[in-house]
Chains A and B, each alone.
Chain A
Amino acid sequence: MIREERGAGEQTVEERASGRLAGTAIRDEFGLETLDMNMGPQHPAMHGLLRLILQLDGETVVRCDPVMGYLHRSKEKISENRMYPAVVPITDRIDYMNNIAMEYGYCMAVEDLLEAEIPPRADAIRALLNELGRIMSHIPSIGFLLLELGAFTPILYAFRERERIQDMFEAITGARMMFHYIRIGGVKSDLPEGMPERMWEYVESLEERLNPDFIDLIEGNEIFVARTRNVGKITQEKAVEMGLTGPPLRCTGVSYDVRRDYTYGWYKNLDFNVITDEAGDVEASYRVRIGEVRESIRMIKQILEALPEGEVMADLGRRIRPPEGDGFGRAESARGEYAVHVVSDGSDTPYRVHYRTPCTVNMQLLQEIVPGHYLPDIMPIMGLIDPVSGAWDK
């Protein structure tokens, strides 16, 4: 039996993941044993379906093996069997907290393949909704961080904001979550009557509410600071080495943002800052997210001030059949760099689609930085990464 022959340390992650939990290992001269604990996949704080195999020494985590794949829905394989425009609704379901960025990345990849020109109004609307989507994702993620620290109220305030943005999305796209709005060559339809004014009004009111409802409630709280400061500390080198992107990278001080460094769409016309922080802990990631919400509000205002007129859909013909070759699109989703690689063999359906979701990459952090922390620190670290089950499993 594996249990008897080998100690806990010698088993590979796969062996442990396959359900053969390691036996307890003796830790010190007092003969104290570690405790193996299985957290998830059904667990209130696991952001969906994540299983963590933990080895605990009292409350301290000695070892943490994340096991992914409980929400695998073969997105990449399904994409190969559908015609190009029909893949967009599939991408919607990858990161279900920030769907619009997922559509955006895929459409950019196919447009790269087709070398299509996008009408400026469509570009502006895409950027507009993308930033709105970022607010819609960042504010609940702050709420989730607090929820996992044990404060129940901020999540409800956060969902009030998300609800209002969803109402606007419903008016624009017809759906509350799975929009299918960004299409290859443009967007589905123009903004409805009065929407720019409504959006302006909303972001103004959000700017006012951001301080009393979120920052004042969260930031000054001693317990919040005690629970998040110096928790989940990552160094710049480590973050770059692991290929992190998005707020987990920017909170260590690396200024990297696809919107600026590999600018796309309407972003080249916008003036915005990339928010960074030095500390590289959970509190810093919270500050980065709040800062990004503010930047998004600024960007939305800029776009609304100079919204170009014209068509919203390029004429690409009824049937999209790109030439042989490959297309690449990358977008900054709320969680980091999202990239799509589409390979075409000249037929109606893509030959291969690969989605590089930020969550999958950022999740490496768990294995790296959780050991040494206390068990309850796993929750704020999850809040730092802010993964989405659908995005890491695809």
Chain B
Amino acid sequence: MLLSEVVTSGPDFFYLAPWLVFFPVIGLLINIIFGGRFSEKVIGTVASTASGLTFVVAVLLALSLRAHHEGVTILLAEWIAIGELQLDWAFRVDTLSVTMMMVVGGVGTLIHIYAIGYMHEDVRFKNDPGRFRRFFVFLNLFIAAMMILVSGDNYLMLFVGWEGVGLCSFLLIGFWYEMDTLARASTDNAMAAKKAFITNRVGDFGFLIAGMIMFWAFKSVQFDTVFEAAHHIAELQPGIIIAITLFMLLGVAGKSAQIPLFVWLPDAMAGPTPVSALIHAATMVTAGVYLVARSAPLYMLVPQAQGIVAIVGGATALFAATIAVGQYDIKKVLAYSTISQLGFMVAAVGMGAFVAGMFHLVTHAFFKALLFLSAGSVILGVERGHHHGHHDHDDHGHGDHHDDEKSEVFDPGDMRNMGGMRKSMPVTFWLYIIGSLALAGIFPFAGFWSKDEILAEATALNFTVYILLAIAAFFTAFYMGRQIWMVFYGKPKHEAAEHAEESPPIITVPLMVLAALSILGGALNLPGVGTFTHWLEMTYEKFDLHLHHGEFNLTVAITSTVLALLAIGISWLIYGRKSVTFDQADPLKRILGPIFVGMENKWWIDELYWAVILNPYIAIAKFTADVIDWRFWHDWFHDKVIAGTFNWFSKTFLDSWIDQRGIDGFANGLAAGTKELAQRLSGIQTGFVRNYALSVFVGVVVILGYLILQ
């Protein structure tokens, strides 16, 4: 099938596509089998190399696509053939999937390298070599699963990757399963992992239903087959397409942390920081956005479903942004920020602005990975400062130890412990500033271009969503400003922050690369040039999709820039001049009052879910377990009915009749009969030789008589 396509000129590396999955699998196998003898550096290098090679493959595929605009499908093996279902394990290489591959491979590799430095210093690490190896095995497994997700040629293969990344997410959130974020023995991390997994089950259930409806209606789950038949089905039964897209939205809401299933993502910060950056900010959570963008030919047929997707995205963007304002944990702020930015992307792809959504996905991967990793660097810096402070005390003997009790619960991630760190960690500070400006959407950073493309599209496509997103963008700039002032400016609020030390190059160098991408990422799709638009259109033009061409809207750009600068200014007024400590309430609380309490408490969504879903569910589960299962089935049905009947039957019939009288009677009777017979026969044995001789004699006479008389 490839031959006709190979004829055209240009480099052709499409045959490398399966290596996107093979390389990380090889990497993880090497680390599993030989990792026990490797040092930390070697383990990290093997994993990073495996990940880096996938990036090289992705780049080669991208180069090859220049000669094959429409994309290529690489068949690896026949997978499933049952009746009407014919599925191949095939890799789909087109501009959309290659974009994702490059993001996953590129950002993934940088995070692998960062993790070599980070994991060693993690306070929870305690030099357990098995843990270090396990971490990189999981990371490589994640890369492999994510590559399957983005390169699949059908929905089932996509689903395999979808579940694979979900598994890796679970494994890595619960990586320190025996302790909480502060290394105290606890089940918190394990609970967070379970929460993420179970919440995602709800979404995956929706995805599965969508897939089943699709197979029922189309007799196929292969992308091209489905998309080609979609027009026809949409004319006959538009309800089917609406059902598929909306059930798919449930899957998107689970994986990409949208309302109502976003609650797992903030808890997922229990995982190590590189995991938060790789899985829960840059790549896995964008799988939902990719799914909608991939299913564009379906969504474009049903504007009603598109509207719902856009509203869900817009509402999530605003809702999560408000929560981010009230958080104190440096990673929690970024987590809610991620949910909010994912809302931007989902809203964009929901409206039909697939290019804008994917563009924001790419730039967000750069600056959010940068922010998370920098936050990890900050946390490590504070940790170092904390240790440093302890050593100082030890040197001075029995000095004032009054913060030793407090040090038991010292949280290096709490922003109220930080402050003034721009002096102690200058490199990290500048990196953080770049990431924040990109996220806030300040010209000319990457976030400015992608976010404004979404906003500009929204003004034309769905004005309600524009309003939601614009307000969300305002909050985005505000909470990032708040974070910068709390962490890097003012006076250190804890001696740990005062003694914080800068991170080594293995941590800061990958961050610099990400920072460069965050600055320059906007060049991918500059207004008027539109490289990225043309790039993605190669995929979409095949399906005759009339994509809306977003044009640069100066009014929108100026409005959002002014809003962002205003938000940063306000945040300086509130937080820039005054430190927030544990002793006093957040200054914003005095201004907003109960509204801030709501933000601080995440609008009590977790509590709401507990009250509405979890507690009733647990009550039902308890009822079914205690009453139905135990008391009814076990105590009554099993013990009384089944066991009772059997006991009665066996006692009355089997025991006395069959066993005692039948089997025992036969055996005992045989023995008694033999004994009786023997006793009688023994009388013949007189012991007198002459008796025996007489018997022989009589016997001979009888036999001879018989023979003679015969």
Co-assembled chains A and B: no
- List the interface of chain B (C-beta within 8 A of A): none
